[in-house]
Structure 1
Amino acid sequence: MSSKLKGAKAGYVLALFTLSLAAVLVVTACGASNRNQGGQANLSGSIEIDGSSTVYPITEAVAEEFMNTYPDVNITVGVSGTGGGFKRFTAGETDISNASRPISDEEAAKAKESGVEYIELPVAYDGITVVVNKENDWVDHLTVEELKKIWSPGSKVTKWSDIRPGWPDEKINLYGPGTDSGTFEYFTEAVNGEAKKSRSDYTASEDDNVLVQGVSGDRYALGYFGFAYYLENSDKVKAVPIDGGSGPVEPTAESIKNGTYKPLARPIFIYVNKKSLERPEVKEFVKFYMENAAELVEEVGFVPMPESEYQENLNKIE
Structure 2
Amino acid sequence: MKKWKYLTMTAALGSALVLGACGSDETKETETGTEPATGSDAAEQGTAQLTGSVAGDGSSTVAPITEGLVEEYAAAQPDVQVSVGVSGTGGGFEKFIAGETDFSNASRPIKEEEAAKLKEAGIDYTEFQIAFDGLTVVVNPENDWATELTVDQLKQLWIEDGTTKKWSDIDPSWPDEEVVFYSPGTDSGTYDYFDEVILDGADLVKNATLSEDDNVLVQGVAGDKNAIGFFGYAYYTENQDKLTAVSVDGVAPTNETIESGEYTPLSRPLFVYAKNSALQENEAFYDFMKFTLENAGSMAEAVGYVKLPDELYQEGLTTLEGLK
TM-score, normalised by the number of residues in structure 1: 0.90
Describe the SS at the equivalent of 1:215: helix
The structure-2 alpha-carbon separation of the partners of 1:177 and 1:7, relative to structure 1 and needing over 3 Å to count, comes to closer
* Offset from partner CA, 1:178-221 (integer Å, 9 cap, x none): 00000000011101223x74223200000000000000000110
2:283 match:
280
CA contact (8 A) 1:25 1:76 kept: yes
Describe the SS at the equivalent of 1:176: strand
Q: CA deviation at 1:22?
A: 5.1
Are residue 305 (structure 1) and residue 308 (structure 2) matched? yes
Letter in 1 for 2:302: E
Percent of aligned pairs with the same amino acid: 51
* Offset from partner CA, 1:236-282 (integer Å, 9 cap, x none): 11101001xxxx10000000000110000000100000011021000
Q: After superposition, where does 1:84-95 map in structure 2 within 5 Å? A: 84-95=91-102
Letter in 2 for 1:291: E
1:150 match:
157
Provide structure 1 residue ranges, at least 5 long, that are not aligned to the other structure: 1-5
Q: CA deviation at 1:156?
A: 2.9
CA contact (8 A) 1:55 1:99 kept: yes
Describe the SS at the equivalent of 1:298: helix
Q: 2 CA distance for matches of 1:68 and 1:149?
A: 49
Q: 2 CA distance for matches of 1:313 and 1:124?
A: 12
- Paired residues in the alignment total 305
The more displaced of 17-26 and 287-296 is 17-26
Are residue 119 (structure 1) and residue 126 (structure 2) matched? yes
1:213 match:
219
Question: How much is the aligned-residue C-alpha RMSD, in angstroms?
Answer: 2.2
- From 54, 76, 82, the equivalent of 1:69 is 76
2:182 match:
175
Q: After superposition, where does 1:222-261 map in structure 2 within 5 Å? A: 222-243=228-249, 248-261=250-263
Q: 2 CA distance for matches of 1:238 and 1:300?
A: 18
* Offset from partner CA, 1:58-117 (integer Å, 9 cap, x none): 011111111111111111111100000001112211001000000000000000011110
TM-score, normalised by the number of residues in structure 2: 0.89
Q: CA deviation at 1:176?
A: 0.7
Q: After superposition, where does 1:98-137 map in structure 2 within 5 Å? A: 98-137=105-144
The more displaced of 61-70 and 123-132 is 61-70
Q: 1 CA distance for matches of 2:233 and 2:140?
A: 16
Q: 1 CA distance for matches of 2:269 and 2:21?
A: 26
Describe the SS at the equivalent of 1:289: helix
Provide structure 2 residue ranges, at least 5 long, that are not aligned to the other structure: 10-16
Q: 1 CA distance for matches of 2:310 and 2:319?
A: 14
Q: CA deviation at 1:297?
A: 1.1
* Offset from partner CA, 1:127-160 (integer Å, 9 cap, x none): 0000000111112301000111111133535211
Q: 2 CA distance for matches of 1:16 and 1:238?
A: 24
The structure-2 alpha-carbon separation of the partners of 1:52 and 1:17, relative to structure 1 and needing over 3 Å to count, comes to closer
The structure-2 alpha-carbon separation of the partners of 1:128 and 1:155, relative to structure 1 and needing over 3 Å to count, comes to farther
Q: CA deviation at 1:50?
A: 0.2
The structure-2 alpha-carbon separation of the partners of 1:29 and 1:168, relative to structure 1 and needing over 3 Å to count, comes to farther
Q: CA deviation at 1:7?
A: 8.8
1:23 match:
27
Q: 2 CA distance for matches of 1:148 and 1:18?
A: 27
Letter in 2 for 1:220: N
